[in-house]
Amino acid sequence: MDKAQAAAPQSLKPQSSKPSSWTPVPRCPLCGSDHIAPFRRQVQGGVAVRHDRCTACLLVFQNPCPTQDWYDEYFRSHYWEDKARDRGDDVKRHAVQWRSQLIRAQRYLACLHAAGLSVPRGGNILEVGCAYGMVIRTMADALAATPFGAEPSDNASASAREVAKVDILGRFIHDVPADRGPFDLILFSHVLEYIVDQDAVFASIRRLLKPGGILLIGTPNIFFRHAAVLEHPYCFSKRSLRQLFARHGIRPVRIEPTSHLATAFTPDYSLTAAGVLEAPTGAAPTPESPLPGAGLAMRLGAAWFSLANRFPLNRALGFVNPTGTKLNEASRRRLAELKARTR
């Protein structure tokens, strides 16, 4: 290990709080395996960032890792505010993010339909880290359900309340009162990879989700997306998501890429997982056998993701796979209404 790898990172960027406490991770935090291999070493904003890979369940995790308190403060005060400032947008009128959230809502609805899952008419659905609220609002309208959210950013949650008309129940999932549930569906749309304490989150899921209720997760696929960055303490694959579900008594119904097989190698290749809450077994899952060649496949996928996001290949792939990047008619009307309403 070189000096850059051994040294604990010092900061992210001037406007963000500095991660002052870092925790070494000697074993896989998901399956407990000690079969750990280096995955990626980089310097990000002056910070030495190291991610390792479990060769058993294929979880990629930051090692050492900042504390959950640092991540909570980062998303409360900096994440959406930095995005808006970098693009010169008012956080409450961030049309780029509205469009992205409408596309994600389309994908999650398609996953539920393909898995044969739905929620009762008039049911309650919760999005953890709901940002501007457009994903959960769109899904609620399609499912005839009532949307709720948890969002750490004051600016983003204000927009979710005012524009998307989503009832915000707290900053984080552990803030959601038990008497506001139980929920028929809980959604994590590109949020789970930001959370250090997965066991605490799943304890809250079990507290708030109805027995037989649906857990829906969207997250970057580490096999095809360059997601090993400081902001992500974890990066998932199909195998590690299955292990995560098994650990917490969730029966996976469908785990799929956002793109169909004919155009699987697209720039926006992430995973959508739908699972149903069952009674816990009380037994820890047995780690799977190491998968030969997985590390090389992950690196090749990350290289492809970087290449596919550059012009002209990104334009060509968007033309080949328009369903992964285009709004449907209902979403186009909604986006036009939002822009008109906030002018």
Q: Tens of pLDDT along 100-151?
A: 889 899 999 999 999 999 999 999 999 999 999 999 999 999 999 999 999 9
Q: Are 150 and 120 in contact (CB under 8 A)?
A: no
Task: State the amino acid at position 173 in one-letter form.
Answer: I
DSSP-based three-state secondary structure for 327: coil
- What pLDDT does 129 receive? 96
pTM of the model: 0.88
- Specify if 19 maps to a domain: no
- Specify if 3 maps to a domain: no
Beta sheet of 167-168, edge-to-edge order: 167-168, 146-150, 124-128, 183-189, 209-220, 270-277, 250-257
Tell me the CATH number at 221: 3.40.50.150
- What pLDDT does 7 receive? 39
Distance CA 315, CA 302 (A): 19
- Specify if 162 maps to a domain: yes
- Specify if 315 maps to a domain: yes
Positive or negative, the CA dihedral 176, 270, 115, 238 is negative
- Specify if 282 maps to a domain: no
Q: Are 47 and 10 in contact (CB under 8 A)?
A: yes
Confidence of residue 302 (pLDDT cuts 50, 70, 90): confident
Distance CA 205, CA 191 (A): 14
- What pLDDT does 239 receive? 93
Q: What is the mean pLDDT of the chain?
A: 85
- What pLDDT does 130 receive? 96
Two tokens, residue 331: 């979403």
- Specify if 98 maps to a domain: yes
Number of structural domains found in the chain:
1
Lowest-confidence region among 67-71, 281-285, 316-320: 281-285
Is 247 a residue whose pLDDT tops 70?
yes
Residues in the chain: 343
- Specify if 182 maps to a domain: yes
- Specify if 234 maps to a domain: yes
Two tokens, residue 93: 């009128």
Range of the domain at 301: 89-277+292-341
CA angle 331, 336, 339 (to 5 degrees): 125
